[in-house]
Structure 1
């Protein structure tokens, strides 16, 4: 049975800390995803610290703080590897949305790595969040098993508390479309109303096994995706096969 609830007390925060360290593959001396003292402060001041329990065992944890414009900023969500593929990530995001609605908040925001395909699909296609800004090296250097050695470019996502229709995810190119590949260069000349930008199949594995290639992907995506957003495009969808679809903003 799956139970999602707010966490309370030092012992539960310590359990969440251990879980998140495992998800982020932190080593001795690495920075924790969320420190126990910060979780204590968040709960005491009205922030969000939630956990998902599967048959009584903590398998996911999330934390967030109140932000401007009546919003919750979801700083961390982590699901244990053995519990993935069961809809727990989506369930804990729904819990955050319910929590925010009960407090009269309008939206939830968070950041995610635009190179990580599964996260982009989950956030944009499955949840229906909007990625509004590309922020280069948002956190600066991070010492953990996921981010170590790479700059922390992020997309800033916005998710209305009151559900909106999910964006469609087109499967093929459209007329007048320019495709931006892993080199960051258009495959077709001239401007277009629609752009597509690629992602690697497994960015986290690429970082571990081919850091030089991962760095090239990062630089190319920053130029292509970040550049398109700076030029007035918006992300309209993310396809199952790993492409951002961008359209000119009205």
Structure 2
């Protein structure tokens, strides 16, 4: 596979992106006048091309919070036959490179915390952290990925001004999470799926926490919608509370043979001190 990454800026490129967007989600794409305006006004759109054909993209535009400008990464899509090849990681790294060049210090975006593939990319590979939880963020969504459940989302923050390498970030998370307390586990069901089990523990004494999510949530949702809703509501309540109590989701772990991925949670203040040590 000969893959090239390049900035998307022209009308023809944006039309090709719209076609791919519609192919991936089966819904109407972002209007061309909107994507073109973003491309010409501080936004960053990166395309992944194989032999000249667009097979993936990441779409982002300027945002602001508390007087600080950041890059809001709104959408990333990859053609189905090109998934699980590391293209998402390469798109995000190219996005970060271009963002630094243009003076951005932070990239923020949302994703469904029950989608373990996205969680592992965002937290384990890129080193972003989950800092907010938004209930039913986009309201009712009718596409294949989001339909039939509330569209809850994590907001993650990826700091570019003090971005550690993947190896250094991974080592820190492993150190902080080595003696983690499992507050949410995935227990097997009689039908080969997993159900959420909350453990009643004294979190005040813990240095880190572990919370499980299904490794293949889309499959679970397809098999048992009621169970998928239980996962949504259990993680909503727990993750919202942890964030309110000063924890952040700082890493993700997948262990061979386990039907779940685990988020590693650390105290926000401790994580900030660790980051300051990066220099």
What are the residue-to-residue correspondences of 1:140-179 with 2, within 5 Å? Answer: 140-162=139-161, 163-164=163-164, 165-168=168-171, 170=174, 175=179, 177-179=181-183
Q: CA 1:2/1:197 → structure 2, altered by over 3 Å: closer, same or farther? A: same
Q: Which moved more, 1:105-114 or 1:77-86?
A: 77-86
1:88 alignment partner in structure 2? 87
2:180–2:210 CA contact under 8 A, matched in 1 = no
- Give the drift of 1:204: 1.6
- CA offset digits 1:143-194 (Å, max 9, x no partner): 21111111111111111224224234549x8557242235462254564312
Q: CA 1:166/1:175 → structure 2, altered by over 3 Å: closer, same or farther? A: closer
Q: Which structure 2 residue ranges, 5 or more long, are not aligned?
A: 186-194, 256-260, 270-279
What do you get for the CA RMSD once the two structures are aligned? Answer: 2.2
1:195 alignment partner in structure 2? 209
1:186 alignment partner in structure 2? 199
- Give the drift of 1:207: 2.4
- Give the drift of 1:5: 1.1
Q: Which structure 1 residue ranges, 5 or more long, are not aligned?
A: none
1:48 alignment partner in structure 2? 44
2:254 alignment partner in structure 1? 240
Q: Distance in 1 between matches of 2:50 and 2:132?
A: 35
- Give the drift of 1:211: 1.4
SS of the aligned residue for 1:85 comes to coil
2:43–2:62 CA contact under 8 A, matched in 1 = yes
| Structure 1 counterpart of 2:230, from 210, 216, 237 | 216
SS of the aligned residue for 2:183 comes to strand
1:136–1:153 CA contact under 8 A, matched in 2 = yes
Q: Runs (4+) of structure 1 moved beyond 6 Å?
A: none
Aligned residues: 245
Q: Distance in 2 between matches of 1:183 and 1:52?
A: 37
| Structure 1 counterpart of 2:218, from 204, 225, 231 | 204
Q: Distance in 1 between matches of 2:142 and 2:11?
A: 24
